[in-house]
Structures are given as structure tokens and as C-alpha cells.
Amino acid sequence: MLTNRIAKLFSGLLITTVTALPFAALAAVEALQPEDDHGGTAREIVGKLEMLHYNKLKVGDEMSGELWDAYIDALDPTRSYFLASDIAEFRQWHDRLDDQLRAGQVVAGFDIYNRYRLRLSDRLENTLSQLEKGLPQFDFTRDENLLLDREESTWPASISEADDLWRKRLKSSVLNLRLTGKTDEEIQDLLTRRYQGQLKRINQQSSDDVFELYMNSLTRLYDPHSNYLSPRSLENFNMSMSLSLEGIGAVLQMEDEYTKVARLVAGGPADRTGKVKPNDKIVAVGQDKEGEMVDVVGWRLDDVVDLIRGSAGTYVRLETIPAGGDGSHRTILIKRSKVKLEDQAAKKATFEFSDGKETFKIGVINLPTFYIDFEAYRRRDPNYKSTTRDVARLLDELKEEGVDGIILDLRNNGGGSLQEATMLTDLFIDQGPVVQIRHANEQISRHNRSRSRAMYRGPLMVLINRLSASASEIFAGAIQDYNRGLVVGNQSFGKGTVQTMAPLKEGQLKITQSKFYRVSGDSTQHAGVTPDIPMPQLIDAESVGESAYDTALPWDRIHAVPHAKYFNLKDLLPDLVSKHNQRTAADPDFVFLRDQFRLESERADRKFVSLNELTREQERENLNQQMLVMENRRRTAKGLEPYENFEAYEKSESEDTATIGGPVEIKLENDPILNEAGYIMADFIGLSEKITKTPPQVANF
């Protein structure tokens, strides 16, 4: 599972630290001290968390220990900087941090941070001195391994043990770059500049950075979506929420020393390339089409964002390590632009599918987000754009085209306006509740209701995946609870909480105050929405989704509310699932998707990585061969010419890497999930005579 550090959207990257006392060079690292306003802000944060947060937790002795663990983990998640003696020394504060915070004291947080800052400075100085000796010092014929996940490891017991750990880390970095085709001279230069840059940024750390990290270690004990924003982070947050923000349309976060893609903004420049994916790691950024690539490993998150952000119409290049790959790098050219509302607007298309007896015309509506043009709405512009207005128009057009059923595609839809999710549901059901909201004071609101007669009453399917979140889950959950249509795809994200901004004297506190519940009484939090018919898993649910966060609020349920049951869909599911399984068991695309996910899962489960160059090259060759066999098996089964070798396959995959893209179109080509959803819908319509066609009945509870 991901740890809390995955949620460090606004924290500095792991370039702060601590000192090996025997080295005189460490004295140059000046200790950071709390500012005068930090104590008062800490008391404010504690007070607001205890008073306003949905999770009723008190900052006491138990939480003090949890904060101690979380803060040390935030600083040193790989247990590579602190020594065991440091940890033993820090235990004096294990049960006292709560008392200090209530008294407005944050000295312990700064003392731990300063030790970490010194240790990291020591490590970087030592690593740079090793690089000065040249790369031939490394024996890549030696059979040794590097542990990939050190979360459960012990801290080094001595400087010599830490030296050996960092020797392996440096050796691994060199080997990784060798396998990308870089020369030893290029590698030495790149790594020297990387570590020099990190060392420089250590000295640029401010007291506000330390305080923010310490406070966020506290807020995320309540839940992963609550966090403290310093004045600087608040400015970046407001900029990211502004309609005038220009960039690539991606939400980034820190994981260890890497900047990682958390999610893409639907319809944004990065999304339109089709080459940037969640969990990709960004290792370098270049300006324009040919500018120098700047290595950003170990950078602060906001510094990386500043490098990527730019004026609309300009270009940026990202060098990434694709998630689930073999560690090779990919360079992607993106044209910066403002994410326009029309790029995120609902779109439609029609396709024909057969159930083996009859051909049906199926309408597909793709909805990337739940949007509304608030500015035009406030101006009372009668033509303001919104999700519901656009989908209503598309429904009218599809009905005129004589469609037999409709698929609403909410894959990768991360949410948006709750009001729009409610109003969209109103297009498909008659009057009734859509979602329940329980607040921190335990009051339950049921004001979000469908208030009109349904606009569309025909066969309906909602397509979701692991990145369908929040408002998407509210809509899909309501359709499922009302038995109004089928929900197909993968378990959704599980984001079932609501945050609000609470002002502080310095900065602001984003705090979770409410929780969503379906009309059935089930929470969408943590568990998300489970599809009626599952599709092959494309995203690892253990690393992406609410359940991946250590401190995510749990799933629970409250009382259901009376709501209609439209059709007896459960009677149809056995036949639909049977037909789906028969169709996809040997389908080339589905066989490929299942094999691809299995292969990626096996690689993700690795405990160690070899530091033997021949072993790594053989592993890479084996992986490439497996990928080629999988792809050629798919192509042969579909009557396509197989690739002669992996190089030809790789070239075909990267030919359009620099594509700038345009408006997202709905296509069945290269989308086997949507294609199969169409066949399920055809089966659904063909079996519709079995559906109970009585007026909606209120369920009994």
C-alpha cells in the first residue's frame, strides 16, 4: 500500500536532512529555527482539526506516537538517512509531541528535521566525492542486490553501514542510466549535477518548509485529503485552481525523490498526447522542442511545477519512466495550453453492435469531468455550459438518431461539481434522492435530489474504472442503487469525502468535514462503486485509489432512504456475464490486457533489483521478449502482421510520442473495453424482454 508520503502534494521533496557528525563539512549546514508565528499556527491547526474534522480524533499521547512515526517516515521513508542512534535519540519525544503542540511548541519537529538535513547533506557530499573518483570503481560483474522497498527495514547502525547502502544506491543509479544508453561520461556529469543541485536546494530550505511538513504529518493522521498550506503553497494551490492556469494539465505529487503523475486533467494537453499516464515518474524537463533537459530527480515539487508551467502555445518536454515498464525512459513533447471548458465537454458517438440475432445502434456519451461555467452561470447567461445541459442536448440528438441504448463513459472522470452529478442523475430517473451527506456534526443532508421526470428511459450503461472518483461515484452509485442501468468496468477510486478551506492567521487548512453515502446507505468512501460486470484490471488498485492511503477514512454505512427500483437487472446478470466471459475468454485484446497486467504485477512485486549488469540486461531482454510475444500473439489473432523484433514494436509505440493532439474523439479502435461494453449493451437490449417493465416501485426497507 502507498504510504502517507504519496499524498505530499505540497511538501518539499526529500532533500532535507541530517548530518554525519564526524564530517567537518556538515557544519556549513545552518540549523533552521521556528518562526515566531509557527507556535500560534500549530495551536490553531490542532484546535480546528479537533473541532471541525469529520474524524473525531483528539491530539493526545496515542496520536503523539503516530505523529512521531508519520513525521520520521515523511522525512526518511526509505530509511536511508537517519542512523539507528538518531532514532533512539528521537524517542524522547515519542509521547510528548501532543503536549508540545498544544503549548505552541514545534522545536522537536525542527530538531528532528535539522538532524535529517545534516544526514542528507553528509550523504550527498559523500556521494559527490565518490563520483569524483570516476565510475570504473563500480564492479558491475559482482552479484549483489538492492532492496527496493525499505519501509520495514532497520536504520543503518553505523556510518559504514550507511556508506554501503548509499554505495549500492549510487551503483543502481549508474546502472539504470547505463541501460538507457548513456555513456559513463554522460552519467557522471548528470549525477554530479543532480546531487549538487540537491545539495544546493538543502541550503534553500526555509523554516516555513519544515513547519509545513511537520504540520502535514499531523493533518494526514486524520485523513489523506486534509493538509496545511503555508502561504507559499496556498499561492500555488490557488493558481492551480484558477481558470487562467496554463500548463500541461496534470496533477503531480512526490514519491521518494521522484515527481510522479497523480492524475491527468481530462482534455488537457498531457491527456491529449495519450502518452502520459498516472504513476509515470518525471526525471527531466526541457523547454521548447530542443532545449536542454534539466534533471529534476530530488527537486522540490513546486520547483518542478514551476519548470513545467508556462505560457500557452509554448512547448515543454518531459522525460519519464513509464509506470510498469522496464525502467527505460521516454521523452514526450507537449504543447502548453489553457485547459478550456470545451476540451472537457461531453461528446457523443454512435456505433452498431449485434447480439448475434439483431443489430443495435448504441450511443456513447463520453464525460471527462462534471463541469459548469460558474462565471457565465453567475452572469445569468442563458447559454452557460454545464454537464447536464450538454448531456441533455446530446440525449436529444441521440434519440433523434434512433439509438437503442446509451453508454455513459465515466472512465478517468475524477469528479467535479456535486450539483452537476445530481442534475445529471435527474436526466435518467424520476424524482428521488441521489446522495446522502453526513457532516462532522453527524447531521445527514438529503437535499441533493432528482426533481424532474426522467428525460431518457431507455437501456443505460455506466462505464467506470479505477480513476472514476467523487461525483462520478455518486452518479454511478445512484444508477446502480435505483437498478436504472448496468455499471460496467472496474472498482472506482473510493473518494467519498468532502473538503473545505479553513482560514488561519498564516496559510490555510484544507480539512475533511463531510462524507458521501449512497441512497442504499453504503458509503462511496474507500470501497468505491463495484461494477455489476467487471472488466480486466488495467490499474493496480493497491497503488491507486483511496484504499491505497494508510489513513483513508473507512467504509461504513448509514440508513438507506426510500428510493425506486426500476428494473430487475439481477435476473439478467448471469446471462450477461456468461456471454461476456465467452466472448472475451479468447479475445486477442482481452488476453493481451490480462497478460499485460499480470506481467506488470509480477514486476511490481519484486523485492530486490540486481546490480549485476549482465543480469539486468538479460532481465530486460526477457521482459522485452515477453512483451513482443504478447503483442504478436494479439496481432496474429487479429489478422495483423506481427513485428519482426522488439525494436520494430517499440518504434511503432513511440512514433507519435510528440503528438500534440486535439479534441478527444470517441473511437473503438484501440479501446477494447468500450468495444466490449457495446456488445454487453447489445446483449442487454436483446434480453430486455426479461426486464420487469412495471412503473418504478419504492423499495421496502
Phi-psi map region of 266: left, alpha, beta (phi>0 left; psi -120 to 50 alpha): beta
3-state secondary structure of 517: strand
Q: Let me know: does 317 contact 241? Beta carbons within 8 Å.
A: no
Q: Helix 207-222 to helix 231-241 angle, to the nearest 10 degrees?
A: 70
Strand-strand pairing, 460-464 and 486-489: parallel
| SS3 call for 143 | coil
Residue 617, Cβ neighbours under 10 Å: how many?
Answer: 14
Cell 519501509, located at residue? 151
User: What's the CA gap between 616 and 176, in Å, rounded?
Assistant: 9
C-alpha cell at 88: 533512539
- Catalytic residues, by residue number, are 470, 481, 495
Q: Residue 82's closest CA among 131, 37, 107, 117?
A: 117
Q: Is 313 exposed, middle or buried (0-12, 13-18, 19+ CB in 10 A)?
A: exposed
User: Which one-letter DSSP state was computed for residue 410?
Assistant: -
- The number of residues in the chain equals 701
Roughly how many angstroms between the first and final C-alpha of the chain, as a whole number?
37
Q: ∠464-465-466 over CA atoms, to 5°?
A: 140
- CA nearest 269: which of 322, 336, 316, 320? 336
One-letter-per-residue 3-state SS of 574-587:
HHHHHHHHHHHCCC
* Pairwise CA distance, residues 316 & 304, whole Å: 12
DSSP H helices, 444-587, are 471-481, 573-584
The DSSP element (H or E) to which 162 belongs, if any, is: helix 159-178
CA 67 to each of CA 27, 239, 313, 546: distance values in angstroms, whole numbers, following the listed order: 29, 30, 45, 21
| 675/345 Cα distance (integer angstroms) | 22
C-alpha cell at 627: 512483451
Question: To which residue does cell 424532474 refer?
Answer: 452
The C-alpha cell that represents 301 in the structure block: 515539487
CA pair distance 469, 418, nearest whole angstrom: 12
